[in-house]
Structure 1
Amino acid sequence: MTEAVKDRVIRVPVELGERSYEIRIGHNLLPSVGPAAAELGARKVAVVTDANVAALHLDTLRRSLAEAGVGISEIVLPPGEATKSFRHLEEVCAKLLEARIERGDLVVALGGGVIGDLAGFAAAILRRGVRVLQVPTSLLAQVDSSVGGKTGINMRAGKNLIGAFHQPSLVLADSSVLDTLSPREFRAGYAEVVKYGLLGDADFFDTLERDWENVFLGGTARMSAIATGCAAKAAIVARDETETGERALLNLGHTFGHALEAAVDYDGTRLVHGEGVAIGMAAAFRFSAELGHCSTGDAERVESHLRAVGLPTRVSEIPGEIGSAAHLLDLMGQDKKVKAGKLTFILVRGIGQSFIAGDVPPESVLAFLENWVRR
């Protein structure tokens, strides 16, 4: 890796008035957590992480914070989607209070989307709101879940149904830590990268089709892809922070994907979030084609790219049973975009041309699902 890449930091602003903040993307940024916490005026921080991430990266944070003169307490949780629960939320809140974390202090979310969502939610409700610094360690979290202030936990009825909007004070995305991810976790995160091309940037999707192997290898291509996704999300969040309108476009593939995650009871050995999103995006394009909104060729092109990088595109690729089409439709009924009991989908008119489709007839969805679950 060249010195230029090692020294480069891409800064993406999230413009939200008094709650504006910055996303910093670069190589080897973990040692900057201490100076960043001090810059934000924190006397002490509570680092929330999981056991896998702690084994790899917690020592680096300890040193960085100690050198910056910032006190630290640590909360280490089990890895996996099941950690986004009331039980672990209560545990985190109790330990934050035990550590006497105050409004002027910081909760540091060190981990992937699960830790970012859980720690962010705990920060949102502790003392009616303390600050959070997001340090995402997965590709999915760096390009998506750490940005925009969505926090929450899961319920058996569905994903992220309990939560709050709570913007971070800063996001530090260290692209070099992604080298510690398993190939499966990196591919799953890449699904969220592709999403930004599919929902509103056809040129970016073209670039990914040509250059995805370099994104996987790292360096400039990886940093640029993360920055492109973050900039796209930041722009949408600045216009629609609490998802009353166009922010819903960021859920392309998620209505299908979240239903699949719920159907496997959030069992990460069977399906992880990014894989659900990949299958969901393929489904969104197929459903759009069936409804006459886009061409079958676009749907096939999307599936071809997802398969090329090793992501699933069909329900049949999920191990075990996922239930009937009617069961999946029922799970979709718990989606956060449901209004007055009516389903809302993110559909497409082509690659880079997503739109919000309200009041999609349930019978059309069920007919599609009947065929889709057998593909």
Structure 2
Amino acid sequence: MKPLLNDYLSEKLYLITDENIYSLYSDYLTEQFQDFNCQIVVVKPGEQSKSFSVYQNIIEQLLKEKIRKNDLIVAFGGGVVGDLAGFIAATILRGVRLINIPTTLLAMADSSIGGKTGIDSIYGKNLIGSFKQPEVVIVDISLLQTLEEKEYNNGMSEIIKAGLIYDSILVAELLKAEPNELQFITRAIEVKKQIVTKDPFEKGLRQILNFGHSFGHAIEQYNNYSLKHGYCVALGMDLAIKYGIKHNLTKKNVQEVFYKLLKKYQLPTFVGDSNLYLEQIKHDKKHIQESLNFIVVTEIGKASIIPLKKEDLYDLSN
């Protein structure tokens, strides 16, 4: 990692991480950053750190330290750390440089790529944010060795999503008895990269990356963020596929393949009443006037964006 960091030298680095990651990698961080003027900022793990108060506290801390425009913020952690650090980098001094070093599968394959940053509101997830492209994303898959199985499967949900919406070869790899980890992570990254390059500010194509996220975010918020993001996205994808099949938009084999993947990677299927989450969906960022841009997978590797009214989402779980 050091040679890569040397390419992005600055007078000072501000590394943001969380308590869990820091306890695992304090020695690693010391080794990697000992030659740099680096200050480490540690936050509590979990969605609670994507709040106004945490954001403001870090902003004030960095300003007190006299952060400069050419200094570098390094996000070392999972999705929460990346979202928070990225939003700080996007807004402090109207923008300073950013490097992402993701430590979870979900962050490596999805959230660290594409420039989306943000914090949460009482009205929903990621409602306050900005686009901030990192100078570089450094993916070191050796960091996955400390990942618990549930957290690994949490990331697999976003990789499954990438395949379903854009890459049938990725889906075929995931279905193998022993899929190649490096290959499927690389393909998922390439899916995100291709889509974001074509539509960096989510005016059209990039919206397909939100497959499963309308209900996914709503389920997260409804459960006070006690459920992992990837698990909620899996539930949201399940509901979206059910909607697509019900309205002849999705080929039935999509659901068959999807359920095989959920079972293989120990991800949940939706059981319950989807109407419970409609209030949260009112605040979804993907609303255009009275309609919601809803993503459906039409066939393996292809997705479409359709406008839906709130009433179209009633009884989706039936």
Structure 1 unpaired stretches of 5+: 1-31, 215-220, 317-323
Q: Does the Cα contact within 8 Å between 1:286 and 1:296 map onto a contact in 2?
A: no
**One-letter amino acid of the counterpart of residue 291, structure 1:** H
Q: Secondary structure at the match of 1:368?
A: coil
| Counterpart in the other structure of 2:209 | 250
Deviation at 1:246, TM superposition (A): 0.5
| Counterpart in the other structure of 1:207 | 173
Q: Does the Cα contact within 8 Å between 2:104 and 2:151 map onto a contact in 1?
A: yes
| Counterpart in the other structure of 2:310 | 362
> Could you give the per-residue CA deviations for residues 311-366 of structure 1, whole angstroms, max 9, x where no partner exists?
111145xxxxxxx64441121121111001311100121221211112x1332211
Q: Does the Cα contact within 8 Å between 1:35 and 1:65 map onto a contact in 2?
A: no
Deviation at 1:37, TM superposition (A): 3.0
| Counterpart in the other structure of 1:40 | 8
Aligned-partner Cα distance in 2 for 1:136–1:94: 25
Aligned-partner Cα distance in 2 for 1:73–1:341: 46
| Counterpart in the other structure of 2:131 | 165
TM-score, normalised by the number of residues in structure 1: 0.82
Q: Does the Cα contact within 8 Å between 2:120 and 2:126 map onto a contact in 1?
A: yes
| Counterpart in the other structure of 2:239 | 283
**Worse-matched range after superposition: 224-233 or 243-252:** 224-233
Are 1:337 and 2:286 an aligned pair?
yes
Aligned-partner Cα distance in 1 for 2:316–2:112: 33
* Cα distance change of structure 1 residues 99 and 58 upon mapping to structure 2, 3 Å threshold: farther
Q: Secondary structure at the match of 2:200?
A: coil
Of the three residues 153, 157, 161, the one matched with 1:191 is 157
Aligned-partner Cα distance in 2 for 1:163–1:180: 30
**One-letter amino acid of the counterpart of residue 210, structure 2:** N
Aligned-partner Cα distance in 2 for 1:85–1:47: 18
**One-letter amino acid of the counterpart of residue 126, structure 1:** I
Q: Secondary structure at the match of 2:240?
A: helix
Q: Does the Cα contact within 8 Å between 2:118 and 2:128 map onto a contact in 1?
A: yes
| Counterpart in the other structure of 2:37 | 71
Q: Does the Cα contact within 8 Å between 2:75 and 2:99 map onto a contact in 1?
A: yes
**One-letter amino acid of the counterpart of residue 86, structure 1:** F
Are 1:263 and 2:222 an aligned pair?
yes
Q: Secondary structure at the match of 1:349?
A: strand
Aligned-partner Cα distance in 1 for 2:17–2:309: 42
Aligned-partner Cα distance in 1 for 2:15–2:229: 24
Are 1:50 and 2:25 an aligned pair?
no
Structure 2 unpaired stretches of 5+: none
Q: Secondary structure at the match of 1:163?
A: strand
Are 1:124 and 2:90 an aligned pair?
yes
Q: Secondary structure at the match of 1:363?
A: helix
Are 1:229 and 2:188 an aligned pair?
yes
Q: Does the Cα contact within 8 Å between 2:12 and 2:71 map onto a contact in 1?
A: yes
| Counterpart in the other structure of 2:297 | 348
| Counterpart in the other structure of 2:76 | 110
Aligned-partner Cα distance in 2 for 1:36–1:246: 31
* Cα distance change of structure 1 residues 295 and 92 upon mapping to structure 2, 3 Å threshold: same
Q: How many equivalent pairs are there?
A: 318
Aligned-partner Cα distance in 1 for 2:208–2:52: 28
Aligned-partner Cα distance in 2 for 1:327–1:333: 12
Deviation at 1:241, TM superposition (A): 0.6
% same residue = 38
Q: Does the Cα contact within 8 Å between 2:17 and 2:42 map onto a contact in 1?
A: yes
Of the three residues 253, 262, 265, the one matched with 1:306 is 262
TM-score, normalised by the number of residues in structure 2: 0.96
Aligned-partner Cα distance in 2 for 1:338–1:185: 30
Q: Does the Cα contact within 8 Å between 2:13 and 2:39 map onto a contact in 1?
A: yes
Aligned-partner Cα distance in 1 for 2:238–2:194: 25
Aligned-partner Cα distance in 1 for 2:103–2:310: 38
Q: Does the Cα contact within 8 Å between 1:37 and 1:106 map onto a contact in 2?
A: no
Q: Does the Cα contact within 8 Å between 2:275 and 2:316 map onto a contact in 1?
A: no
Deviation at 1:90, TM superposition (A): 0.9
**One-letter amino acid of the counterpart of residue 183, structure 1:** E
